Structure 1
Amino acid sequence: MSRVKTVPVLGGRHELIIDGFAATTAHMELRYRLRPPLPQSEPDENGEYVFLSLEAVDDVGNEYLDSGGAFGPSADGSATEGSLSVQPGPYADARSATLRLTLFDGTHEETHSFTFPLGPAAG
């Protein structure tokens, strides 16, 4: 999937690039990049850290809960690349899912929503 959307986040200090979405019977996954890269697992020299979480709801009202993810520096070091997922996989009657990505940097929380089609042509 090509780049879906790019939005400024965390007070405009970072750029969020949605790289892809995939749905399986077990989960739905959002792939992303953040530029410049985020501090790793502990606060950086400025005390900055960022926590990301994901939840979703489909077009018929089913809810999906965060089931974790992974992230790390991009190969060239210019971004943080990662993925987050929600469980379970989409219900059979769902045609779209709205994923809500929340970012929290210790003082500011913001949520961005992205809607993706589900079904045979999706993913």
Structure 2
Amino acid sequence: MSRMKNVPVLGGRHELTIEGFAATTEHMELRYHLTPPLPQSEPDEENEVGDHEPYVFLALEALDDVGNEYLDSGGAFGLSPDGSATEGSLSVQPGPYANARSVTLHLTLFDGTREETHTFTFPLEAAAG
């Protein structure tokens, strides 16, 4: 899959790049990075300079082309090796149904005051028999 670049998020303060999408029989996973990196502090925790940066929550839901829904099953994120971005992945469960040909992922970002959802559609390949 080619990378989708220059998707402004969080009021244009960050840029979202989709790094990849994968589907297994158990789940579907979206890999991403956000530039500049998201605040690393927990909600209501002061950062190194004593400010309260908004903590950003990410959630993923999906709907396939035949109407099946998929629910957020968690993810992981962290600072990129060079410190320039937040890298992460989010998953939905279950894996794609056999009759689905595409899935639309709804990625929601919430920073405590603003919520926004971005959608991405990916083809689903038939599972090898």
TM-based fold match above 0.5: yes
Unaligned runs of 5+ in 1: none
- Following the alignment from structure 2 to structure 1, what is the Cα–Cα distance between the partners of residues 10 and 53? 14
- Following the alignment from structure 1 to structure 2, what is the Cα–Cα distance between the partners of residues 115 and 78? 27
Percent sequence identity over matched residues? 81
Q: TM-score scaled to structure 2, two decimals? A: 0.89
Unaligned runs of 5+ in 2: none
Runs (4+) off by over 3 Å: none
What is the Cα-based RMSD across aligned positions, in Å? 1.4
**Is contact 2:39–2:53 with CA below 8 Å preserved after alignment?**
no
Secondary structure of 2:75 counterpart: strand
Which of 42, 53, 57 matches 1:51?
57
Secondary structure of 2:22 counterpart: strand
Q: Which has the larger radius of gyration?
A: 2
* 1:84 match: 90
Shift of 1:80: 0.1
Are 1:71 and 2:90 matched, yes or no? Answer: no
Q: TM-score scaled to structure 1, two decimals? A: 0.93
Give the total of aligned pairs: 121
**Is contact 1:6–1:18 with CA below 8 Å preserved after alignment?**
no
